[in-house]
């Protein structure tokens, strides 16, 4: 924790708003464009994305939430970093304009179920109904079908895997996370978890965070500066239109 505190002290000297995409910003090193297909990525459960050592993919789950998602968007814009947002259908239906703002600012979007249930506790028909409603909310907001899906709690089921394969939707798992769902988390705690996860990883990968979580939304500027200070490069993942 002392090492993280020292790191945060150094980072605090950096400019808070670096929207000019200069050398002091994290930036986006490159973009990977994936096919719309029933692929499965994320070494927590599947094959890795074609990343190089030291590259990370920023992903956010559970939004869009008017109180928190804009804070995340601001932090990403300040650091010129692009991310992928996996949206809960019922949240997207309540805030479609915010969902479209995410896309208009250059980020990728996918779905994260409709109600964020534990899918394995539901019958097959209920699972498929949840997927159908999430797809409908995405279609209504964006005018196109969702290219990718992340399972709530990363809890995959045979019923859903088969349905996603049939629909040519990519399943996006993760490589590492920061366990950012506790209400008492601080910037320093989340930064320490990020450093620990990165150090334990094989040089980076797909990072799971939650734009619906208030402590995370507040900590994103710090977390992005941690990535910059440790030499990581952001890769933006998008899908063919």
Contact between 110 and 86 (Cβ < 8 Å) = yes
Mean pLDDT, the chain, rounded, equals: 92
Using alpha carbons, select from 229, 211, 213 the residue that is nearest to residue 75.
Answer: 211
Q: Which residues does residue 109 pair with via DSSP β-bridges, in sequence order?
A: 85
| Residue 78: CB atoms within 10 Å | 20
Per-residue pLDDT reduced to its tens digit, 25-39 = 999 999 999 999 999
pLDDT attached to residue 118: 98
205-210 and 84-87: which strand pairing? Answer: unpaired
Using alpha carbons, select from 184, 172, 169, 236 the residue that is nearest to residue 208.
Answer: 172
Contact between 175 and 206 (Cβ < 8 Å) = yes
pLDDT tier, 15 (very low <50, low <70, confident <90, very high otherwise): very low
Per-residue pLDDT reduced to its tens digit, 75-90 = 999 999 999 999 999 9
Contact between 123 and 114 (Cβ < 8 Å) = no
Measured distance CA(35)–CA(105) in Å, rounded: 21
Measured distance CA(51)–CA(5) in Å, rounded: 30
Measured distance CA(146)–CA(224) in Å, rounded: 27
97 contact partners, CB below 8 Å, separation of at least 6: none
pLDDT attached to residue 62: 97
DSSP string for 111-127: E--SS---GGGS-HHHH
Per-residue pLDDT reduced to its tens digit, 135-176 = 999 999 999 999 999 999 999 999 999 999 999 999 999 999
Q: Which residues does residue 41 pair with via DSSP β-bridges, in sequence order?
A: 47, 172
The DSSP 8-state label assigned to residue 49 in this structure reads P
Say which residue the tokens 């045979």 belong to: 158
Using alpha carbons, select from 96, 85, 201 the residue that is nearest to residue 140.
Answer: 96
- For helices 214-229 and 69-78, give the axis angle rounded to 10 degrees: 20
Q: How many CA atoms lie within 13 A of 181 on its CB side?
A: 7
Q: In angstroms, what CA-CA distances link 32 with 53, 157, 193, 230?
A: 15, 27, 27, 22
pTM of the predicted model as reported, rounded to 2 decimal places = 0.91
Residue 13 has pLDDT above 90, yes or no: no
Helix (H, G, I), strand (E, B) or coil at 10: helix
Per-residue pLDDT reduced to its tens digit, 62-72 = 999 999 999 99
């Amino acid at each position: 924790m002392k090492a993280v505190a020292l790191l945060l002290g150094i980072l605090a000297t950096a400019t808070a708003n670096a929207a000019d995409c200069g050398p002091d910003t994290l930036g986006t090193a490159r973009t990977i464009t994936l096919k719309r297909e029933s692929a499965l990525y994320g070494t927590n459960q599947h094959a890795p994305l074609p990343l190089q050592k030291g590259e990370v993919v920023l992903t956010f789950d559970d939004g869009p939430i008017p109180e928190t998602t804009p804070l995340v968007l601001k932090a990403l814009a300040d650091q010129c970093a692009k991310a992928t947002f996996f949206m809960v259908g019922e949240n997207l239906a309540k805030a479609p304009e915010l969902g479209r703002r995410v896309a208009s600012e250059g980020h990728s979007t996918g779905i994260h179920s409709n109600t964020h249930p534990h899918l394995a506790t539901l019958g097959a028909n209920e699972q498929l109904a949840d997927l159908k409603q999430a797809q409908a909310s995405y279609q209504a907001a964006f005018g196109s079908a969702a290219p990718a899906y992340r399972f709530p709690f990363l809890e995959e089921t045979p019923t859903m895997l088969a349905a996603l394969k049939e629909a040519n939707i990519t399943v996006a798992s993760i490589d590492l996370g920061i366990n950012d769902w506790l209400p008492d988390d601080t910037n320093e705690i989340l930064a320490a978890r990020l450093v620990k996860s990165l150090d334990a990883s094989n040089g980076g990968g797909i990072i799971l965070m939650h734009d619906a979580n208030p402590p995370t939304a507040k900590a994103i500027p710090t977390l992005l500066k941690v990535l910059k200070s440790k030499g990581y490069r952001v890769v933006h993942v998008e899908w063919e239109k």
